[in-house]
Amino acid sequence: MVDGHSVQHMMRRALPAAMFLLGALSALCPVPAFAEGEGPPREAKHGQAEARPLLFGTVEFRRPLEKQKNWLAVLRRHAEQPVFMEEKRLSRSSTWGELKEQAQGRPLKEKLEVVNRFWNAWPYRPDKEVWGRKDYWATPAEFLSRSGDCEDYCIAKYFTLRELGVPADDMRIVVVRETLRGVAHAVLAVYEGRQVHILDNLVEHVRPMRRVRNYQPHFSVNENGRWMHVKAKPSKGGKATENGHGTER
């Protein structure tokens, strides 16, 4: 039997070696450090190379997609109303094949500019005027025939970019509150590494999220999920731990 004194003696001898090993392991697998205004990853996904910023300085919570019935209805109707066919005329000046040719092969930011500019050319029409109801989410085919409001622009851009090869997990349709006027709005967010690009029917050009300060997200969706958003708690310095609103210069 080993007495207590012997155990303590062995532990004192083993401690320096253990500390050396721990230091070596730390050098090989360092704890991730985050720049000011960044923070831990939103979700850890297998094969995801980089952590992504949260949307507009919020913390998000995943919720069942089946609760978003208007979006699920769009997914079903879109499958029944295809518009992305080579010879399909999307506007007086462009078929789908021609629009695709303009966008394909470009860097992502340029591709987003092409798509944003194309769909923003349609006139804004509120759901009450078009559909006789307070809220209706339209498919791209329905938008082409009647135009629509903010979320309908997002939906048309979302499916256009899906056809151009942008993965669903790299995009979110984000329903927000526009804080300057206190009204509901929707934008399309597209992730590119640590950047988020915002496509907005109110703005001609695609903007980086860090320069968009007047949107407070309520929820976001793509084909694979639905997320609720709440404002992140400020850090000791008074800034949100993951604000995305201007801590990056």
Structural domain contains residue 46: yes
- The beta-carbon contacts of 75-82 under 8 Å, at least 24 apart in sequence, are 75/223, 77/139, 77/141, 77/142, 78/139, 78/140, 78/141, 78/159, 81/139, 81/140, 81/141, 81/142, 82/141
Over 50: is that where the pLDDT of 35 sits? no
Domain region containing 107:
42-231
CATH of the domain at 165: 3.10.620.30
Rounded to 5°, the CA angle 121-54-177 comes to 50
Terminal Cα distance for the chain, rounded? 64
- Residue 221: both structure tokens together: 């969706």
Q: Is the pTM of this model over 0.85?
A: no
Which is nearest to 34 in space by CA: 217, 235, 212, 238? 235
Structural domain contains residue 54: yes
Q: What is the spatial distance between Cα 58 and Cα 181, in angstroms, rounded to a whole number?
A: 20
Query: Would you give the distance in Å from CA 92 to the centre of its chain?
Result: 31
Structural domain contains residue 97: yes
Structural domain contains residue 82: yes
Give every CB contact of residue 60 below 8 A, 6+ residues apart in sequence: 42, 54, 220, 227, 228, 229, 230
Structural domain contains residue 30: no
231 C-beta neighbours (distance < 10 Å), count: 13
Q: In this prediction, what percent of the chain has a pLDDT beyond 90?
A: 70
For the chain, what is the domain count? 1
Of 34-43, 94-103, 226-235, least confident by mean pLDDT is 34-43
Mean pLDDT of the chain: 81
pLDDT in tens, 60-105: 999 999 999 999 999 999 999 999 999 999 998 899 999 999 999 9
Structural domain contains residue 16: no
pLDDT in tens, 121-132: 999 999 999 999
DSSP secondary structure letters along 45-64: -TT--S--PPGGGEEEEEE-
Structural domain contains residue 108: yes
Structural domain contains residue 242: no
Which of residues 5 and 234 earns the better pLDDT score?
A: 234
